[in-house]
Amino acid sequence: MDSIEITGIRCYGYTGYLPEEQTLGQWFEVDLVLWLDLAPAAKTDGIEDTFDYRKAIATVKEIIKTSKFALIETLVNAIADAILALDKVEKVQLKLSKLAAPIPDFGGKITLNITRS
């Protein structure tokens, strides 16, 4: 199966367990691998025969901006479900990173990886 990779989708959102995360918000970053059949577009050279990846980017950003889940596990699953609902996508691998986890003396990021079909 063919795939399209979209990396570095950054968006500010309000998902988090702590009250300040849902009030003040924080930055998230998402990488996607979308599995779909690219053969029709390769044959026709027509944009209508491929997947418009701008829809995936807009979908990710909208969900992050408007959701207020306690857990990033819920957020990443909501994004995966929405991406799978887009036309032509058969499978998605999604990597979501919380860029500034509110953990004392920790400057790294927390990342979840899921695959759904």
Q: Which of 61, 68, 95, 98 is catalytic?
A: 98
Token pair for 82: 């929405």
Query: Catalytic: 43?
Result: no
Nearest CA to 49 among 78, 87, 18, 81?
87
* Distance from C-alpha of 79 to C-alpha of 82, rounded to nearest angstrom: 5
Which helix (H) or strand (E) segment is 73 a member of? helix 72-84
Residues forming the active site: 98
